[in-house]
A and B are shown apart, each in its own frame.
Chain A
Amino acid sequence: MINQLHKRWWKVLGAVLMLYTFTAGMMIQVPARFVLHETIRNLFFHVPVWFTMILLLLVSLVQSVRFLRTGKMVHDIMAAETAAVAVLFGCLGFLTGMLWGSFTWGDTFSWLFADTKILGAFIGLMIYAAYFILRGSINDEEKRARVAAVYSIFAYMLLIVFIFVIPRLTDSLHPGNGGNPAFSTYDLDNSMRTVFYPAVFAYFLTGLWIASLRVRVRILHYRKHHINVL
């Protein structure tokens, strides 16, 4: 992945898919459904934000494992920076979900506890907040990297449990959870998938782009102090 930091093709692909998402997401015919109305289009904008968070954290997990295997600091840098961007996407997911939910589920004030998946995602984000607190509390860089890498393996497993497993076992308003069907029932002719899947890639690649810039700045910082992290 390190040799992809300066490549241009995936950044261009992400930008093009982003433009496609925001054009097609607004313009295509969507199924008309009661309660949802036009807000069904939020499937193209709200859901990929969460997918991106989970994918970026997966990248962070892979980099953590690679750090443990190789001991190269660049993997630790990549793990930390992708996790940071993932948390940003998680916060955006919360804000957009609050807005959407307050109009379709009609619940503004108890939003955190209104739904198992929201609470699960919140706990997941808190686990990653603890990841950064843990990093900040260790001064020795090698030690910090090792402890954080081990912690992030546990953190990702917990995140998967809280976001994907527990909401399926209990009641949830989110489609695809608690016995609810996923969006295949709302989208009979699969037309929404033609925007939804590119949207996931668009957000993910853009998130990676932001993370790659942060990584490069960190590498520059180290190089300024004559430390080679590669």
Chain B
Amino acid sequence: MRFFIRLLAVLLTALHPAWLLAQSSDQAEMATGLRSNGLIWIVVGVILIILCGLLLYLYNLDRRITNMEKEQ
């Protein structure tokens, strides 16, 4: 478990140093305003909450089935 958390931390920092850089001006319209005032984090937060909920649900199902297997 701890190994995977470390792996994630390494991935997050090593792969995307460009996260904090401001977006250079491009012709095609992108959501730069959304990111500059930080609101995109709220969307990411909402997504992560939903995802965590779903994954926890899956984990609970897994545990319940394990219990049923042990009972038999």
Residues of A within 8 A of B (CB): 6, 11-13, 15-16, 18-20, 22-24, 26-30, 32-34, 36-38, 191, 194, 198, 206, 209-210, 213, 216-217, 220, 223-224
A210 touches B58 (CB 8 A): yes
A16 touches B7 (CB 8 A): yes
Q: Among A19, A220, A224, which residue has its beta carbon within 8 angstroms of that of B48? A: A19
Nearest CB in chain A: distance from B69 CB, A: 6
A224 touches B1 (CB 8 A): no
B48 touches A23 (CB 8 A): yes
Once A11-B62, A213-B61, A220-B68 are accepted as A-B contacts, the answer to whether A29 and B18 lie under 8 Å apart by CB is yes
Closest to B61 in A: A213
Nearest CB in chain A: distance from B62 CB, A: 6
Q: What is the bound-complex CA distance between A175 and B62, given in angstroms?
A: 38
Interface residues of B, count at CB 8 A: 36
B47 touches A13 (CB 8 A): no
B68 touches A12 (CB 8 A): no
Segment 31-72 of B: residues with Cβ below 8 Å from A: 31, 40, 43-44, 47-48, 51-52, 55, 58-59, 61-62, 65-66, 68-69, 72
Nearest CB in chain B: distance from A218 CB, A: 11
Q: What is the bound-complex CA distance between A194 and B56, given in angstroms?
A: 26
A contact face: mostly helix, strand, loop, or mixed:
helix
B51 touches A19 (CB 8 A): yes
Chain B residues whose C-beta falls within 8 Å of the C-beta of A6 in the assembled complex = 66
Chain A residues whose C-beta falls within 8 Å of the C-beta of B68 in the assembled complex = 220
A194 touches B4 (CB 8 A): no
Nearest CB in chain B: distance from A46 CB, A: 15
B12 touches A18 (CB 8 A): no
Chain B residues whose C-beta falls within 8 Å of the C-beta of A24 in the assembled complex = 12, 15-16
Q: Among A30, A33, A216, which residue has its beta carbon within 8 angstroms of that of B65? A: A216
Q: What is the bound-complex CA distance between A20 and B18, given in angstroms?
A: 16
Chain B residues whose C-beta falls within 8 Å of the C-beta of A26 in the assembled complex = 40, 43-44, 47
Chain A residues whose C-beta falls within 8 Å of the C-beta of B28 in the assembled complex = 32-34, 36-37
Q: What is the bound-complex CA distance between A145 and B30, given in angstroms?
A: 52
Nearest CB in chain B: distance from A77 CB, A: 14
Once A6-B66, A24-B16 are accepted as A-B contacts, the answer to whether A16 and B51 lie under 8 Å apart by CB is no
Closest to B14 in A: A194
B47 touches A28 (CB 8 A): no
A28 touches B7 (CB 8 A): no
